[in-house]
């Protein structure tokens, strides 16, 4: 039990750090994709872990059940936490899916190098004067257009969900949040009962 929760928070820390780093490096050419593949790897492992069958890591954890939701005490209803986790999960799947679809393994040396973009120069100049139809031919940026738009949208939405996730847990589930962050328990300490031997 303790063991599995320890693994959960290790996995959580790794996912959180990689995802934030990927977000921050959105425009830094190969590094961003490497971090993105790192995130994808963590997600795949998480899914396999869920299939392993332990209840604490099952995917039902992401299913918000609104049963018993009333105005009174609504702020701490478990459905809220789950809605935010589900939002994060869906954004992660979308952002990594579209990212990999755009990159097709190039950044990690897979994929057909025979394709026209064998070298992706990071500081490729854009032809700003070409007017409205920047989707035209699309050659300067490799495969772009709608995928790229969805990718960026999902990335920004991810950040919004993460912000709410963090804020919510810190406000309403402080002890759990601290546990997840490897912080020591603080606050009201129960008086230590005298040890009876």
Map residues 26-65 to x or -, x wherever contact with ligand HEM holds by CB under 6 A: xx----xx--xx-xx-----x----------x---x----
Question: What HEC string does the chain produce?
Answer: CHHHHHHHHHHHHHHHHHHHHHHHCCCCHHHHHHHHHHHHHHHHHHHHHHHCCCHHHCHHHHCCCCCCCCCCCHHHCHHHHHHHHHHHHHHHHHHHHHHHHHHCCHHHCCCCCCCCCCCCCCCCCCCHHHCCCCCCCCHHHCCCCHHHHHHHHHHHHHHHHHHHHHHHHHHHCHHHHHHHCCCCCCCCCCCCCCCCC
Candidates 79, 85, 86, 90: give the one binding ligand HEM (CB under 6 A). Answer: 85
- Going residue by residue from 100 to 139, which x/- string records binding to ligand HEM, judged by CB under 6 A? x-xx---x--------------------------------
Please select the residue that binds ligand HEM; options are 42, 80, 83, 162, rule is CB under 6 A: 162
Q: Is 95 in the site for ligand HEM (CB under 6 A)?
A: yes
Q: Which is nearer to ligand HEM, 20 or 191 (CB)?
A: 20
Residues that bind ligand HEM (CB under 6 A): 12, 15-16, 19-20, 22-23, 26-27, 32-33, 36-37, 39-40, 46, 57, 61, 81, 85, 88-89, 92, 95-96, 99-100, 102-103, 107, 148, 151-152, 155, 158, 162, 165-166, 169-170, 173, 176-177, 180-181
């Amino acid at each position: 039990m303790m063991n599995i929760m320890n693994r959960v928070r290790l996995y959580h820390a790794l996912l959180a750090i990689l995802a934030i780093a990927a977000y921050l490096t959105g425009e830094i050419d190969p590094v961003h994709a490497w971090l993105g593949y790192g995130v994808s790897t963590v997600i795949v492992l998480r899914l396999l872990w869920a299939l392993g069958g332990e209840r604490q890591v099952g995917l039902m954890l992401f299913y918000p059940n609104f049963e018993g939701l009333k105005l009174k005490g609504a702020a701490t209803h478990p459905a809220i936490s789950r809605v935010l986790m589900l939002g994060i999960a869906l954004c992660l799947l979308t952002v990594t899916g579209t990212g990999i679809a755009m990159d097709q393994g190039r950044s990690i040396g897979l994929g057909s190098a025979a394709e026209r973009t064998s070298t992706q120069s990071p500081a490729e100049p854009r032809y700003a004067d070409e007017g409205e139809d920047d989707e035209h031919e699309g050659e300067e940026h490799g495969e772009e257009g709608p995928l790229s738009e969805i990718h960026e949208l999902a990335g920004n939405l991810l950040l919004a969900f993460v912000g709410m996730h963090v804020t919510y847990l810190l406000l309403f589930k402080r002890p759990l949040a601290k546990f997840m962050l490897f912080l020591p328990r603080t606050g009201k300490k129960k008086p230590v009962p005298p040890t009876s031997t």
